[in-house]
Structure 1
């Protein structure tokens, strides 16, 4: 019997009328017309509706019963005000009502199951117990003797209660110190979401405003927009007008009845210029203008001696207290605003020592000290028993150029609140940045004012520089008004969004700026003889190069005394403003020279002098300007010079080989490592993030470009620098990582000095061609002879920014991690099953593989389960097809992990793995010095990339990857706790060579004497390099060590501003 005959005998009956059909499609056609089928379906729907209605009634009855039987618990705290009842007479305005349905935000949030997602959050911090045990005397401590007073208000000796929360799943415990009887009723971390911690795009919240602004209708708005959008009307504008009038919603009556003159006046007016009704639509956030006037001292030998006032202009600013009130009373910001600082400790396992954590500002020692000091203040008003909260103010300032051509610039002042998480502050979509002012600078007409007062002659440049500094501090005096100072002293009482009244005490914690502005804020000379605002280190190559050495004692033993500085500046200003002496004269300079000060009254220090405020302690480190486009950029430029010096005329160009290697480096992640599209050696239009990527990928790029032993020395420097950079950028530190960073700081200083001694001083390096051209242009602009010949140059890395690298550990311990106040995939790794704490010397903890394909299968188990049952259901299984890498030459001290693809002849070269066994994706960079593989790579490559004989595992690609190799130091890497060895911090041995530079015998020169033995001819890529003509001594600044601000003398390092030398700006501009 044929298959057709079998199919023809099968019938398809209708359930409604019992008729039979030969095919299924004829049955479907009949069912759409069959009355019996329709009647049966209707009955089924009615029964289903009755079932769901019954379930709903039972659920409502159950909820009502529970509500009636529940007894409210009375609260001992003040009553929380209920939210205002909504006005039901007016429906809320829907911001998406005019949008097409396809573009509106979906009302249903469809999410994948947890097993298919990688965004599942770890456990939140445990909820803090509300009641603090006061009866336990072991929890009561007297901190009045340990915390210095920060205000002039009397401080009482009040014991504070210490409370420890239960450990989290990661072993983190929080410790709070609060007055007796206090209760922890506000924990922002309990409302944390994924969007608070990541940069996954979310729907922005649109601020509601007046619907039509100063206009009365939509028709008036449309017509006004047509009027203002172009100055000269064209035929196209006429057609646009016709389209407006054709709109069905356009009303001629609304247009005729609009008072156009008043509307246009209100459109361009400030809110303070209008009454409350007309200005209600303006959301100016309290901006106002403040007139700025400075006093200009003309010395006795000028035409019109004395002090003359000059009106600088009007500064646009906001009242800081009003910004603070807006933040503290906002229903949106209040739930995530931290009122109580705490310290955090970490103990992941019983055998691990307990260590302190450093991260957010509100868990830093400086915040806790301020909080304890505020709790002990004696206040006389009736609200002295209110809850007291410290408001952490964090300021940023950065003068910004607005155009590539021209002099347009902007000088904004930003303010953040340290009570908010840094993970939210770094997200622009959260809009937590508050712009509080736009500073003014002296205009060109100021020179005309000086000429007028001085008989047509322009005074010295020193007077103009002094007046620019005066303008900066005068504007800060206007920002630090009496209302803010009163709030700092006695607090300000506000009713928060939760209905509770609290007393808030603002405190300035950090001020972030680049080096020129730090000098301006701290009133010291920019690159003066004592260039550091923290200590009195001398500006000399010998003193600034002591990073990490025991001899670097000035950092701790010669700290600046802010009170002594204020007295010296006051004495100098008396000589200039009352004595009539020149601002740069000897009588004024004798009070300032010893500590490289300037004769400007420090507004931040003077205004807050009664509060025991120290502006110098708030100036935090700046990793972007000091490291990434500071020390590292200088080192990278000199490495290019070395490559040019080692390039033989008949051999390959080493700088071009470097460019090829960087261009061949694969990208990683969405933006962790970007594509090096241009030649790295030319440094064209590079931003700070580009220099960071250059450092992270430097070892594979530079390896074996220099001959030995210079190559080994350079790789050590690059590895230590990348390690220091990764540690400095960690977002959560502990005592182990900070000790490791301190060790790396010592090692970095020594490695750079060794590199300078053994390589840089033995090779004659000259300016890059662009450097010589930029210097010639600069000399021609100054009227000097312009020669573009390339001059010999040295490493030149020992500047104030190199000195600042030693302050990172102490700053992190005091203020938290640097990201809080800074001014910036198909390869996988798995855990090695044979790795144990006892085998870590022989085994590597990870296995590396390349994902070739991703598969899934629907499978079932056909056997018998342990309980005797059978389960034959299909299950979806995912698995990866991978090619494994073999580990080569693993040395965890000075080099990256090196791997190579397992030969295809090995039995374990290819295999399948469970995706859940993958730890994370890793960044494999070719080891270019080993060359490309001869293996045909088209079958095994993804995207057609080349196959190489060996690869580096770039552990510096991001912070998480770096901490995977720091055994026992990462809080979130729980798999390390039982299987990895405990954290071990290397120590500096007693016989360690710090390679300190020796001071020169001649005070006018600060050069180091290096051996000048002629090097042998090394081999590189089959080409013999020629011998080098070494100089008798390294070229250095002949005036180094002298005071650069003596009349008639100019120091070379005075040109070293935050953007490096002016030549660097011309050659390597920063975006």
Structure 2
């Protein structure tokens, strides 16, 4: 009872404090916004100095206690005359209800109106040529909720994702409907019964290793299944069932002709003859081991059986115009392959292509082949390697095909290597003279293109020209034309495919830039080279290769003879006939343009890894203590969801670090390096890391607008300039190899020397060392004359042409490596590739069975799958999810008693009064409500004095690329921070977000006056305050800095802790400690609190906001994220201004495809008699509305190249308008 009275007394005392604050109110007795101007020079009468570890005196303000002092910043950030609005109580800055108004579920495209002439499924494919009327009128859909709309070249037959706006969030809801009802017996054929199917599924699809989960699967999904009967297994030959399953892969779809399946293809290479042997017949050697299948079989299977909601047959351009902004100009969007300029261009061309069957009237579409290949090592402790060629289709949404489990990536071939036995064969042909390395390199190139010649066979070339007829999965028969859109590979493989020299004078596979100019990214000369000197697969190129091959194969010249070098060296070509040239050359397909950028190898494992190595070398100039501190800092960086994982013990050594680890290091490196580099490099390195992290985030965006591409273009120039400047800066320092690099180099040299001495039949000395000058460590510089650095300048153009980089990243192929390693582990290691392809067939059939059975089960029960509450809240549009059950283990039975028991903790000193004040505002709907006063706070009660705590809060949100996502926050972690919006009427100089550390997640049933009890969820937080003395952002190239409130009196405590509504949380946020400032006990002196960052009773002096932690967070700070819904006209997004230079197509080939309506930004609403766009189900563009979109003839190649520049080349004003 005494404790209760004490708590009640504290509540009354707190109310008196609130009354003093409320005396300033002048709006209906409500709570006033206590705004005041903060400046370090204002109001010096209150001077409670706080000192940090170095004794610096804090700024003096009457109401704001500064955090422990920090080391001086090299560049002073704040001008005392420049003032910013500052509110002591962070709760009053939070934009209440912002999430409710600005968050929206993903919205699908608007439906099509019934066409005048319906296209009948599986219609007759022949009619008189005169009856075939091309569909040439453009078609535009009306905008969706977010302001997106589509522009088709003609009215589409179908819109696959019409009723599936969240197809990528929960694909189980969107299984492809069965074309016709199938029985279970027919689905599982050739398995004789369900028991055999269950056993086969467990064996082939449930992994190769035994585990507890595998045992549970065996019991639950096999032995306990209703259809399982042990008697059904008697007499069943499972190996014969395996053979039947492998054979069934060739006849899975009855609407397609039987597939040829996997086959062994022998390859024959011609070996150049010596001059003395020209009279002899040409030499040929046979290479075995190519295991491949028909590309057309893969195309037929994909188009006849795919996931309808995510598979697009007709490409379109996509545009964005912010809702309720009639004066804004629409912007083109860049994302999916089927919205790219490249696919729209080839789709339009096939509509008018002349084919052998002139009477065919079937609708035409493009099969957008996307290839990827890379070598893999099948086992960790084995030297056996593989080289699969993978293909997938740009018609499929990237959000689906990028998943390794989506089964949309197909192995087309397994590339053999040049066998060692070929050396003996050539030695025999050359009368005992062994081949040199140049000849073997030439034969490896010949082998690669012999493989692609086998894949691009005559049947494929004929389909390229005339298409093939396929009954597609949506029930419409189409003529499908294969087209190669992209080829994703690392640089050594790009060199093979482009038939150029590895690291030659012209080292780029896409343009003719000279190696000494590779470092000049972003300069005018570099841009002109990319634009006007790109490689072309034309007659001039073919003539050079033919002449070189004539010199080698007819005249007996050596591969590297002077005559051959004089012919090819200038442009770094090699004397190998490119297999892709047979597809039509420059007019139809240019292999050089298809070799897209590769962020995995070129940036994360390329430029960034090189820069990181150089920075680590600079750390070693400070000694081992500096390196140890650097590693310690990385170990102290907290993880963040699935984006940032815990770092290794020794980051500086870079031992066993994968590409994604280098990505994490880049995103978190700024605080880790701060203050550890040499003084002359510290600040430049901080700026460089900031620019690089921003560039990296922009390069990985999954959805670009014209404005973000303008930012990205400017940022590329800025990054290249910063890297060149940093390289020049560090040349004056004595930067040497790290000890680890030196040891590895010595080991390689010793191994190479041992091999060399063995070759010349000399004994290797037992103890011989390589002489070095000084300590033996080489001087190192930051080399930028590389292809990987040069490739940075191609990202904007590639995104403009093919969509965003995640669509064709080599990571898609790398993730498939697990699949091939698992297949290899099941083989007996003899003729492993043949066994692997057989396993691939078996597993693909079983997965088809599994999917069909799942769909049949859903259809029979007519019920959606049962989802967890968290998933329900995600899809239902709820802003958050907290457990709904009142579990006894989570209950606090008496809140007043609990508060008194924790009276020693400052964070709970005013827990109840602050909670009731927060709840009263929510009960009344607003803190400005007339009833919101201190007397009514006492009327707020918790039912039965009970409260329930929760360990997890899940925040649901729609990401910038309009996907539904979820963050998980756990107050049990000491690093649990939330991001909240500020009020709409904030000062322009005020930071747009509020940050809070979550201390507890609770719910309780609340009673007020005579109202019935109602459940409320609330979050107990500790506020973090923005450091305006050291501002961050794009302009300063610095991270935003935060600190806690110093708690010296009751008012400080009230300003340090509070409650928030979970629905006001935008997202979880990643804060990285300011390691240079260190830890301090000064924020909560003389008390131990569970609000502390560390159990020893200390806090980090400051935090940095990691705005680069993921793409969505980056777009929150850049602005203009389409999924960050902005419904009110007063709210602006990046690029939505009147000075934009009009809506242009994304690398469009025909500027006239859009009418004047879109360029003016007025839309069909100009005519008063017509319904607004938001109410129209579709919009067929015609002369009544705007200009008709017509395609009169095909543009020339020069026009295409010029118009490919239109989106960015004329947008210098955008770069000026956007502030970094």
**What's the CA shift for 1:335?**
4.7
Q: What SS does the corresponding residue of 2:1130 show, helix, strand or coil?
A: helix
Instruction: Give the whole-Å Cα distance in 2 for the aligned partners of 1:334 and 1:636.
Output: 44
Query: How far apart are 1:192 and its partner, in Å?
Result: 2.3
Task: Decide whether the 8 Å contact of 1:289 with 1:317 is kept in 2.
Answer: yes
Point out the structure with max Rg over C-alpha.
Answer: 1
Give the secondary-structure state (helix, strand or coil) at the position aligned to 1:190.
coil
Secondary structure in 1 aligned to 2:1080?
Answer: coil
> What pairs with 1:663-674 in structure 2 (closer than 5 Å)?
663-669=635-641, 671-674=642-645
Q: Pick from 447, 472, 485 the counterpart of residue 496 of structure 1.
A: 472
Q: 2:654 aligns with which of 667, 673, 683?
A: 683
Q: Name the CA shift for 1:157/1:464 in 2 (closer, same or farther; >3 Å).
A: farther
Query: Hey, what's the Cα distance between the residues in 1 that align with 2:147 and 2:197?
Result: 63
In 2, Cα distance between equivalents of 1:767 and 1:157 = 70
Does residue 1:337 correspond to 2:311, yes or no?
yes
Q: Could you tell me whether the CA contact under 8 Å between 1:129 and 1:165 is conserved in 2? A: no
Distance 1:739 1:208 in 2: 57
Alignment match, 1:829: 979
Structure 1 residues 279-307: Cα deviation after superposition (integer angstroms, max 9, x where no partner): xxxx9982222221111113225799663
1:609 shift after superposition? 3.9
Aligned residue for 1:698, secondary structure, equals: helix
Tell me how far 1:383 sits from its aligned partner: 4.8
* Equivalent-residue separation in structure 1 for 2:1016 and 2:335 (angstroms): 40
CA distance in 2, matches of 1:639, 1:940: 36
Give the aligned partner of residue 530 of structure 2.
555
Q: Which residue of 1 aligns with 2:552?
A: 576
Aligned to 2:625: 653
Q: 1:196 and 2:168 equivalent? A: yes
Residue in 2 that maps onto 1:163: 139
Match of 1:806 in 2: 793
| SS across alignment from 2:1101 | coil
Q: Does 1:294 align with 2:437?
A: no
Q: C-alpha separation between the residues in 2 aligned to 1:356 and 1:251?
A: 62
The question of whether the paired residues in 1 share the 8 Å contact of 2:164 and 2:309 is answered with no
Separation in 2, partners of 1:285, 1:636: 49
1:426-465 matches, within 5 Å, as: 426-465=402-441
Per-residue CA deviation, residues 179-234 of structure 1 (Å, 9 max, x unaligned), is xxxx43411212426462479999999999996969999899999x99xxxxxxxx
Correspondence for 2:1047: 904
Given that 2:1041 and 2:1104 are in contact with CA atoms closer than 8 Å, whether structure 1 keeps it comes out as yes
Query: Taking structure 1 as reference, are residues 187 and 980 closer, same or farther at Cα in structure 2, changes over 3 Å only?
Result: closer
2 CA distance for matches of 1:316 and 1:470?
17
Cα drift, residue 559 of structure 1:
1.8
Partners of 1:447 and 1:221 lie apart in 2 by 50
For residues 44-68 of structure 1, the C-alpha deviation after alignment (integer angstroms, 9 at most, x for no partner) is xxxxxxxxxxxxxxxxxxxxxxxxx
2:193 touches 2:232 (CA, 8 Å); kept in 1? no
What is the Cα deviation at residue 377 of structure 1?
2.4
Q: Determine which of 926, 929, 932 is the counterpart of 2:1076.
A: 929
The structural deviation recorded for 1:596 is 0.7
Alpha-carbon distance in structure 2 between the residues aligned to 1:925 and 1:199: 35
Alignment of 1:281-360 (within 5 A): 286-301=261-276, 307-330=282-305, 332-348=306-322, 349-360=325-336
Q: Quick one: which of 739, 742, 745 aligns to 1:775?
A: 745
Question: Are the counterparts in 2 of residues 668 and 923 from structure 1 also a CA contact under 8 Å?
Answer: yes
389, 398, 403: which one aligns with 1:422: 398
Worse overlay, 191-200 or 745-754: 191-200
Equivalent position SS for 1:908: helix
Contact 1:130 1:185 in 2 (8 A): no
Instruction: Return 562-571 or 913-922, whichever deviates more.
Output: 562-571
- The answer to whether the 8 Å contact 2:400/2:406 transfers is yes
CA contact (8 A) 2:510 2:535 kept: yes
Q: Partner of 2:736 in structure 1?
A: 766
**Relative contact order, higher structure (CA 8 A, sep 6+):** 2
Superposed CA deviations along residues 840-868 of structure 1, whole A, max 9, x for unmatched, are 2x111111111111122212442xxxxxx
Q: Which residue of 2 aligns with 1:890?
A: 1031
The size of the alignment, in residue pairs, is: 797
Q: 1:251 to 1:632 in 2, by over 3 A?
A: closer
Conservation of the 8 A alpha-carbon contact between 1:416 and 1:425: yes
Matches within 5 A, 1:129-144: 129-131=113-115
The answer to whether the 8 A contact 2:162-2:309 is kept is: no
Residues 645 and 763 in structure 1, CA contact (< 8 A), matched pair in contact too? no
Partner residue, 1:962: 1114
The 2-side partners of 1:272 and 1:316 are apart by 16
How far has the Cα of 1:923 moved from its partner? Answer: 0.3
Aligned equivalent of 2:608? 632
Question: For residue 856 of structure 1, what is the aligned residue in structure 2?
Answer: 1003
Aligned counterpart for 1:508 among listed residues 484, 491, 496 = 484
Which has a greater percent of helix?
2
- Give the corresponding residue for 2:460: 484
Residues 268 and 286 in structure 2, CA contact (< 8 A), matched pair in contact too: yes
> By how many angstroms is 1:810 displaced?
0.3
Give a deviation string over 1:783-826, Cα, whole Å, max 9, x none: 37745721111112331100000000000000000000001442
Residue correspondence of structure 1 range 718-737 to structure 2 within 5 A: 718-737=689-708
Whole-angstrom distance in 2 between the partners of 1:351 and 1:855: 45
1:752 corresponds to which residue? Answer: 723
Quick one: distance in 2 between partners of 1:132 and 1:722?
52
Structure 1 unaligned spans of 5+:
1-114, 135-152, 227-243, 278-282, 863-870, 988-1071
Which residues of 2 match residues 67-146 of structure 1 at below 5 A? 121-131=105-115
- The Cα of 1:773 is off from its aligned counterpart by 2.3
- Alignment partner of 2:495: what SS? helix
| 2:216 counterpart residue number | none
2:369 aligned residue: 393
In 2, distance between residues paired with 1:250 and 1:830? 58
Label 1:977 to 1:705 Cα distance change in 2 as closer, same or farther (>3 A).
farther
In structure 1, C-alpha distance between the alignment counterparts of 2:1128 and 2:569, rounded to whole Å? 55
- The within-5 A match list for 1:1025-1064 is none
Match of 2:1218 in 1: none
CA RMSD of superposed structures (Å):
3.8
Cα offset, 1:497, TM superposition:
3.4
Unaligned runs of 5+ residues in structure 2 are 1-98, 119-128, 179-183, 204-222, 253-257, 757-768, 812-968, 970-975, 1140-1220
- Equivalent in 1126, 1130, 1135 of residue 974 of structure 1: 1126
State the distance in 1 between where 2:144 and 2:168 align.
19
Distance 1:318 1:643, change over 3 A: same
- Aligned equivalent of 2:682, options 711, 714, 717: 711
CA contact (8 A) 1:491 1:506 kept: yes
1:477–1:380 Cα change, 3 Å: closer
Q: Is the 8 A contact 1:904 1:910 kept in 2?
A: no
Aligned-partner Cα distance in 2 for 1:855–1:408:
56
How far apart are the structure 2 equivalents of 1:201 and 1:897? 41
SS in 1 for 2:731: helix
Cα distance change, pair 982–361 in 1 and its aligned pair in 2 (3 A): closer
1:602 aligns with 2:741: no
Report deviation, 1:701. 0.6
Displacement of 1:775: 2.1
Pair 395,633 (structure 1): closer, same or farther in 2 beyond 3 Å:
same
Comparing 941-950 with 467-476, greater Cα deviation is found at 941-950
Q: Please give the TM-score of this superposition, normalised by the length of structure 2.
A: 0.61
Q: Which range moved further: 123-132 or 548-557?
A: 123-132
The change in CA–CA distance for 1:436 and 1:901 in structure 2 (over 3 A counts) is: same
Provide the rounded CA distance (Å) in 1 between the counterparts of 2:465 and 2:107: 40
Distance 1:287 1:517 in 2: 24
Distance 1:816 1:454, change over 3 A: same
* Cα distance in 2 for residues equivalent to 1:404 and 1:924: 37
Q: What secondary structure sits across from 1:170 in the alignment?
A: coil
Which whole-Å CA distance do the structure 2 matches of 1:724 and 1:984 have between them? 22
Larger deviation, residues 484-493 vs 503-512:
484-493
Question: Shift of residue 967 of structure 1?
Answer: 2.8
